Structure 1
Amino acid sequence: MVDKSDTIVDSKEQRYDFFFYGTLCVPAVLTRVLGHKCDGLTFQDALLPNYTRHCVKGESYPAIIDREKTNISASRGDVLTSEEVNVRGTLVKGLTYKDVHLLDIYEGVEYLRDKLPVQALSPPSDVSSLAQAISDPTSRYLNQVQSSEEGKEKEGGVDVGMTEAWTYIWAEGLDKLEAKIWSFEDYMKAKESSWRNLPEDYFTDVERQQAIKAEPGFSGEEGSSSAVGTDDPNADGEESKILGRTAEGYPDFGRGMKKHWGFADDYVNLNHGSYGSPPKIIIEKMRKLSDQIESNPDKFMRRSWLPILNKVRQQVSEMIGARTEEVVMVPNTTHGVNTVLMNMEWNEGDIIVIYSSTYGAVGQMVKCICDRNPQIRMEIIDDVFPCTHKEIIEQSEEVLSRYNQVAKPNYTGLSKPTGVRADERVRAVVVDAIASNPGVIYPWEDIVRLCKKYGAMSVVDAAHAIGQIEVDVKKSDCDFWVSNCHKWLHSHRGGAVLYVPIRNQYLVRSSFPTSAGYESTRYPTQGINRPWQFVEQYQWTGTMDWAPFFSVNDAIEFRKSIGGEKRIMQYCHTLAVQGGKRLRKKWGTEVMDTPKGELTAAMVNVRLPHVPDPKDLEDQFKQMRYFEDKCFEGNTFVAAFRHGGKWWARFSAQVWNDLDDFDYAADIIEKICIGLKNGEYLDKPLEEDIVEEEIREMPTKDS
């Protein structure tokens, strides 16, 4: 059934027609993207008039633009042929709403979907009886295009002639396209292959974990598989299962790496996650930069700083899959999340959703925003770990569907929620990539997709992400994303990357504090033409020490010198997994994870033995203080916390750690826990500054 409306709705009965002109012309590719055999779809040779198909600079895939834009971008003097001004492709009829959702993921934010007139050149056929020109699109371009007379003869045949169909047109700047007309022949010559042998990365957007499912939280297996396989609850940690310890041409990971850090010889650091630990060489280079700054402060502050800052932004943007103009540096993740939420204009009935494990300062920030805007409120999703990613997704969807209708696809990419009731709707969801306490991986990419489904903004607190897990913000397509570089990336404290895609930059009008780069539409700067630009808001927010920010460049180079991101992540993850198993066996307790290991990255959470339940919050603070003091005495430290009515400890694995570091800490901590059981902590008074310090470390809601 041909859709005659201008929108696409979530309907089981509605079907949609699409015109494809690039990789999706190939039925095998379409089958893989949609995740089904294309039964019920029909295929026709077709033509899109008055559009031209161009090469995207630096890419092998094409984009189409209309004739007006073609004339603007044209750089060659010759006249376009009739074939070039009419895009040849495939008309596919019968697609569902779910199919459209997956197509949107595949095409990405560079394209805008529009409904255009299309000329069908052949009768429809199903996937089991495709003509040669449909099953192998290259044949259409290796042979002569049909003459206009032949096209006229077909006009008026069964389902042949003019119709309307959705297609994806280029939405980015014309400067990203080549004037050259894209063709199948050129592609084949360049790649020495055919469309049947496409590069694997054509499918990564829809084939990564759970993206090919109908909708997040509706179906599929629980969670994702860990790199170390399913868990045996009786297994001990095994040295042989720690991967990445050695690599040819690079130093061995383990205790020998401590020479690169300034730790005391007898200090066993298993708490890297809290504040990060810059290597000695980073500190040395930062001090050298500080000396350079002080040798001529005026020259540095007026001339030298900006190219270095831009290099930081460029390097970090490459790491997370963003464009440089979408990335700025801020002091820390809390600062970045605050900047985003404080800039948003809140409407009456808006709801901000957070989780019970949301970092305490971020939770307090959301409360502050609601206090300042009494017409809005917050809602907390109470998650108790260990639980599966599927359960978190289902909890999240239950809340989103309670307040929001399924959003109509909006191909500006902007989130526009519509409430089930007119007086309230979820406007934003703040979700961790990896929570702080407990230190567990969230299914944040699935939560982002749920936010899109229900029209809510996704704000990702990724404080622990960069350097600990692989990230591609374009594939997740989140609305905002912030991550500390001084934690797992090894730069100096503090510095964080704030990612805001171009589509959302108008929402974040000012840095915090407002900088000299701000430009008011109401009170424009006199005498100059200076349009507002997102990046310029963060270039100069006041006099500051640039050295920690600039250490990010050196940290990235250091990580490359010891084996690179994948090796570091592999070692830290597998060491955390095996260390957790070692502790569980020693203590006879449990690891906070699912059978498939989907919660653990480089931080592992293990339930503490022997510790009694606190009588009240004051008693809990006393227990915590005793635990920390005894860790200091034992020359080690791990982060203890209370969750789900139990005491846990979070262990951070790093390249300087060995498995026997977990053994050392296990013995120290078990003695501490026995002391807690015997009430030794009760002898110390609880001072006011101690209460304030312990509150600072608590999550939003101590489950």
Structure 2
Amino acid sequence: MPSHPLDHWALDPDVRHLNHGSFGAVPRTVIEELHALRAEMETNPDRWFRRLPERVAQARTDIAAYLHTPAQTLALVPNASAGVSTVLASLELPRGSEVVITDHAYGAVAMGVARAAARAGAGVRTLHVPLDATPEQITSRFADAVTDPRTQTSLVVVDQVTSATARLFPVADITRHAHAAGALVLVDGAHAPGMLADPLAQAGDADFWVGNLHKWPCTPRGTAALVARGDRAQELYPLTDSWGAPDPFPMRFDQQGTMDLTPWLAAPRSLEFVEEQFGWEAARGRITELAGEAQRMLADALGADTDAVGGSEAPAMRLVPLPGGAATDQAAAHTLQRHLSVAIGCETAVTTWHGRGYLRLSAHLYNDRADYAHLADHLPAALTEAAA
């Protein structure tokens, strides 16, 4: 039996892996299953691809059960951004209407919304949401936007857990206000699966929801869920047409030509692994507690005030403000992130928001207090060195 949770993963033990929220990490047992599936595919490609839609459908059903949603509401897509792009490509936004997003939106999503709106002759309204905003204040900003008599809101695109800023948004309440105003809602739940016990229930009656499974559930990368409810689901088609195009949603997504879909087939094993080894409820409690402790340690090390980022924090991701002048733009954030990797052996997420730099901490089952203590001990000197 592994003596430390890290032993369940193939991660380099000489590196402190503190950025699970970006790329995830795949357990060893799932990597083994992935290799076995790929070997099977190469042994007899004809047989593999003839049977593939049926096997994808089974994996999709297992994933839907994990997310507590009927299988007929869920399609598999490569990642959350692909799911968002699928919805935006399928909807017809009324000319002159408005799409509402926030200044916390993931960059690729914001760019996708801008392109979709421009094609349709629609506009984009970007709401500013302060880092210390309460759930009630966040909801109020959306309510004011969708009821603005000067414009018609056709679509609201809202993060469930924001990427760069680690905020937890009250998407069920936001959805309620949007629907009352006649707008559709697309929830970007990229970080929600695994981190939240029931992300779809917390999304309320949102029309569309997308979530990555390679992050907190630790599935192979390239696995994400697109959930659609009601008649609008039948408007959704894969970004690339294949032989399943005549089928109803979500079956039309089960055929993707000759793409390597082994990550989808291996994904249920990741979900089983966490339950078998740790228990999902206990796992969420552990990583939430560890993320909070990590934030306190790093804030103490930097003398940082976390009150300004204490509004509606995500359970397993936390922000720590960096000293003024650090990571003031995306390029500087990436440079500092690479420096911390080389200088102190820590893979971290350094983000920037409105010209201010932040350390975005992630916690997962292979992390422990010593990981963050190491970062806290070495970060001040590393920041001084980076600024020199």
TM-score after normalising by structure 2: 0.94
The answer to whether the Cα contact below 8 Å between 1:387 and 1:593 also exists between their aligned partners in 2 is no
**1:657 aligned onto 2:371:** no
1:631 deviation in Å? Answer: 2.2
1:370 deviation in Å? Answer: 2.1
Counterparts of 2:290 and 2:336 in 1: how far apart (Å)? Answer: 28
1:600 maps to which of 303, 306, 314: 314
Counterparts of 1:308 and 1:638 in 2: how far apart (Å)? Answer: 36
Corresponding residue number in structure 2 for 1:323: 70
1:296 deviation in Å? Answer: 1.3
Residues 79-98 of structure 1 aligned to structure 2 (within 5 Å): none
2:212 maps to which of 484, 491, 496: 484
The answer to whether the Cα contact below 8 Å between 1:592 and 1:605 also exists between their aligned partners in 2 is no
1:607 deviation in Å? Answer: 0.9
1:399 maps to which of 145, 151, 155: 145
1:369 deviation in Å? Answer: 0.9
Code of the residue aligned with 1:383 in structure 2: it is V
The answer to whether the Cα contact below 8 Å between 1:262 and 1:280 also exists between their aligned partners in 2 is yes
Counterparts of 1:610 and 1:649 in 2: how far apart (Å)? Answer: 12
The answer to whether the Cα contact below 8 Å between 2:53 and 2:255 also exists between their aligned partners in 1 is no
Kindly tell me: are residues 505 and 675 of structure 1, through their superposed partners in 2, closer, same or farther at Cα, counting changes over 3 Å? same
Counterparts of 1:501 and 1:583 in 2: how far apart (Å)? Answer: 42
SS of the equivalent of 2:162 reads coil
1:297 maps to which of 34, 41, 45: 45
| Overall identity of the aligned pairs, in % | 27
Kindly tell me: are residues 340 and 627 of structure 1, through their superposed partners in 2, closer, same or farther at Cα, counting changes over 3 Å? closer
Kindly tell me: are residues 644 and 388 of structure 1, through their superposed partners in 2, closer, same or farther at Cα, counting changes over 3 Å? farther
Report which of the two has the higher share of helix: 2
The answer to whether the Cα contact below 8 Å between 1:389 and 1:442 also exists between their aligned partners in 2 is yes
1:474 deviation in Å? Answer: 5.3
Please give the per-residue CA displacement for 1:545-573, whole angstroms capped at 9, x wherever unaligned. 11111121110110111132111111111
**1:576 aligned onto 2:291:** yes
Code of the residue aligned with 1:322 in structure 2: it is T
SS of the equivalent of 2:357 reads strand
| Structure 2 unmatched runs, 5+ | none
Residues 522-533 of structure 1 aligned to structure 2 (within 5 Å): 532-533=247-248
Kindly tell me: are residues 661 and 310 of structure 1, through their superposed partners in 2, closer, same or farther at Cα, counting changes over 3 Å? same
1:321 deviation in Å? Answer: 2.2
SS of the equivalent of 1:640 reads strand
Aligned length: 387
Corresponding residue number in structure 2 for 1:257: 5
Corresponding residue number in structure 1 for 2:255: 540
Corresponding residue number in structure 2 for 1:406: none
TM-score after normalising by structure 1: 0.53
Counterparts of 1:457 and 1:393 in 2: how far apart (Å)? Answer: 16
The answer to whether the Cα contact below 8 Å between 2:221 and 2:263 also exists between their aligned partners in 1 is yes
Counterparts of 1:565 and 1:622 in 2: how far apart (Å)? Answer: 37
2:86 maps to which of 339, 351, 354: 339
Residues 408-423 of structure 1 aligned to structure 2 (within 5 Å): 420=149
Kindly tell me: are residues 330 and 627 of structure 1, through their superposed partners in 2, closer, same or farther at Cα, counting changes over 3 Å? closer
Counterparts of 1:628 and 1:287 in 2: how far apart (Å)? Answer: 30
1:592 deviation in Å? Answer: 6.3
Counterparts of 1:612 and 1:656 in 2: how far apart (Å)? Answer: 29
Corresponding residue number in structure 2 for 1:382: 128
Code of the residue aligned with 1:484 in structure 2: it is N
Corresponding residue number in structure 2 for 1:367: 114
Code of the residue aligned with 2:179 in structure 1: it is K
SS of the equivalent of 1:281 reads helix
Look at both structures and tell me which one has the larger radius of gyration over its CA atoms. Answer: 1
The answer to whether the Cα contact below 8 Å between 2:327 and 2:352 also exists between their aligned partners in 1 is no
* Higher RCO (CA-CA < 8 Å; seq separation 6+): 2
2:302 maps to which of 569, 583, 587: 587
1:356 maps to which of 96, 103, 109: 103
SS of the equivalent of 2:87 reads helix
RMSD: 2.1
1:429 deviation in Å? Answer: 0.4
Please give the per-residue CA displacement for 1:604-654, whole angstroms capped at 9, x wherever unaligned. 11112364585xx5xx62464144233233211111122244221001101
Counterparts of 2:308 and 2:32 in 1: how far apart (Å)? Answer: 39
Code of the residue aligned with 2:376 in structure 1: it is A
Code of the residue aligned with 2:122 in structure 1: it is I
The answer to whether the Cα contact below 8 Å between 2:333 and 2:357 also exists between their aligned partners in 1 is no
Counterparts of 1:623 and 1:585 in 2: how far apart (Å)? Answer: 21
